[in-house]
Structure 1
Amino acid sequence: MLLMTEGLLSINKYNTFWRQKTKGSFRVKVHFVTISGGYLLSTIGSAIVYINKEKLGKSHYQSWHALFGLIALISAIPPLINGLALWYNKELAIKKPKLVKFVHVLSGTSSFTFGALSLLLSVYTKWYKRKSNNSEFVFYLGFITLSFPVLWAIYGPSVKLFRVIKSYFSEEKAD
């Protein structure tokens, strides 16, 4: 999730320091590599947890953390495919790249939101309680530390989606 957050922040319009120091094509490459790497590591991590639970005879996907994580993994497939289509836009001769980009941003933001919810819910798991010695301070520290970067990463695409949807409906009324 850390890499996926970095991937979103790499193209975030509100990340002004990064935007001043880099070019757009480089930011897109960083976005592509970090999101792809994050998805790969998330898939491997989920497989490891699944195999470990299978060996221990424990049930799977019983917590909200696990369910939202599974939803995030599955729902990340369409934005990954859309991202690849946008990456090879010219080679694929896509007629409406703006529509593909809109679907990419919409599906990617919703998938990231599920992943973010899973990440935030991880502080409610039995594993986290055991590792933090059931400390209330560590619980709040973990929750707050995870909340701010994730919310900041979601903010940029959410504003963009709102503006695109708003402009779409205002153009329709003008006709």
Structure 2
Amino acid sequence: MSVAFCLCLTEAILIFSPEGTLFCSCSHKMKVLLHWTAQIVALMAATLGLAYIVSSKNQSELPHFVSWHSVLGLLTLLAMCGQILCGLCLQFPQLLRTPPVAQLHLYHTIYGLIVYLLVTFTMVLGIHSDWFQAQIKGVAWYYCLGLLICPALIIMNQISRSYLQKRLHV
């Protein structure tokens, strides 16, 4: 579930990158639809993952939310829900009394980056867990760390370079 979550979330953000996505030739309207679809799939994967973990903890009678990974994961899932609500306000500004669309778009972008960085940090805490380190050792562990850090750096670069610079200088 975590792989599907990370891939969908990453692609959902990169959909709007002119050079870094499979969907660069699509119209903006189609990109928004793909962005929504990938975000919903990521949210479903996170929710299913949480349900599985809670069920597993209940069966083994272990305490819930005792690690930094689990607490931050829950907060990240809640932040992701807030980000989706912000996207709804952006998608339907005429139905909701919201700030101007350009300002809301900037908030959505910055908040989305923060949520993505929370996801990355949560996943890094997850690979530091005793369970993960018992499964993956040596160079493979560093490879997993790189698989988490590299997309975060790419997305931070893409957002700061192609979007925030344009919006902040206007």
TM range (shorter): 0.7 to 0.9
Cα distance in 1, alignment partners of residues 70 and 21 from structure 2: 34
Q: Is the 8 A contact 1:12 1:153 kept in 2?
A: no
**Relative contact order higher in (CA < 8 Å, ≥ 6 apart):** 1
Q: Is the 8 A contact 2:14 2:21 kept in 1?
A: no
- 1:12 corresponds to which residue? 17
- 1:148 corresponds to which residue? 150
Count of residue pairs the alignment pairs up: 164
**Larger C-alpha radius of gyration, 1 or 2?**
1
Q: Which has the higher helix share?
A: 1
- 1:108 corresponds to which residue? 112
CA drift at 1:61: 2.3
CA drift at 1:78: 2.0
Cα distance in 2, alignment partners of residues 56 and 101 from structure 1: 44
TM-score by length of 2: 0.83
Cα distance in 2, alignment partners of residues 163 and 121 from structure 1: 34
For the structure 1 residues 89 and 13, does the alpha-carbon distance in structure 2 shift closer, same or farther, using more than 3 Å as the test?
farther
The percentage of aligned residue pairs carrying the same residue is 20
How does 1:72-151 map onto structure 2 within 5 Å?
72-90=76-94, 92=96, 96-132=100-136, 135-151=137-153
5+ residue gaps, structure 2, are 1-5
TM-score by length of 1: 0.81
CA drift at 1:16: 6.9
| Deviation digits for residues 52-95 of structure 1 (CA, Å, limit 9, x no counterpart) | 11221212223332222112111112210111122223555866
Structure 1 runs of 4+ off > 6 angstroms? none
For the structure 1 residues 70 and 155, does the alpha-carbon distance in structure 2 shift closer, same or farther, using more than 3 Å as the test?
farther
For the structure 1 residues 18 and 123, does the alpha-carbon distance in structure 2 shift closer, same or farther, using more than 3 Å as the test?
same
Cα distance in 2, alignment partners of residues 84 and 114 from structure 1: 21
For the structure 1 residues 90 and 123, does the alpha-carbon distance in structure 2 shift closer, same or farther, using more than 3 Å as the test?
same
The one-letter code matched in structure 2 to 1:156 is Q
Cα distance in 1, alignment partners of residues 43 and 100 from structure 2: 26
CA RMSD after TM alignment: 2.3
Say whether 1:2 aligns with 2:7. Answer: yes
